Structure 1
């Protein structure tokens, strides 16, 4: 049996010869699959620029679906979607400018910060109770028991 060509975009294999490969690489299904693959890695600025040049899809606005899907030459984004995308692009640009200026921007989200804050506050609260315990003549609650202390 001869060599076989496997197309990663289409998840398909066929006999590898010049005619079959050329026919496949110029085929509609392959070009569509290849475009979908590369669209996954486009940045928000490129998507925003493309979507702003398109007119809204009337069929999508009326029914919520379009027969052409991602191949539609009209935009399926609402005004709110475009605003969110624009805000994302502006945020990415600000972050890029700050990094170029040399400002140290810590990675992370608000959720990470809140989680760290909650841990810090709970640790401070437990330390406070240890300190209060030692004031009343008891050993600190965070200290391990010694051999001289009575466990009861």
Structure 2
């Protein structure tokens, strides 16, 4: 039977080959299902901006139904729905602004003292146990001469400084 491709957006599977997958991924049903999926994660502010830029759907206002449903390019929200959405956006912004970051006890001076102590102890321990680190290539690599320059180890003293060149 061969390999099968399962589309999570559309909840269906089909034979996996280039033609079938390309046809499915560019299909109207897949694009709609994908849009619906990503719309689930949009925040209220983005929805509000989009809905405010749309004109009301005349068919939806008259009958309460629209043949295009979520694919309609006009808004299906009433003025009450828009007011609720504005209130929700306002509440989200207030809650986001009121979130406080917990600051640990103490002051900046205390933190700087601790940092200086840690730094000095790290420097003293590194000077005591500082022996030159010998670079080794991973096992199985080709000889150094066959490696491109980007994979070669730097020379012992480091790369020489290049003269500064102005471009442009």
TM-score, normalisation: structure 1: 0.65
Structure 1 residue runs of 5 or longer lacking an equivalent are 103-152
| Moved segments of 4+, more than 3 Å | none
Which residue matches 2:93?
A: 93
Which residue matches 1:73?
A: 73
Deviation at 1:66, TM superposition (A): 0.4
Deviations 1:19-41 (A, max 9, x none): 11011000000000111111111
Aligned mates of 2:50, 2:101 — CA distance in 1: 29
CA RMSD of the aligned region, Å? 1.1
Which residue matches 1:15?
A: 15
Which residue matches 2:82?
A: 82
Which residue matches 1:47?
A: 47
Q: Secondary structure at the match of 2:14?
A: strand
Deviation at 1:57, TM superposition (A): 0.3
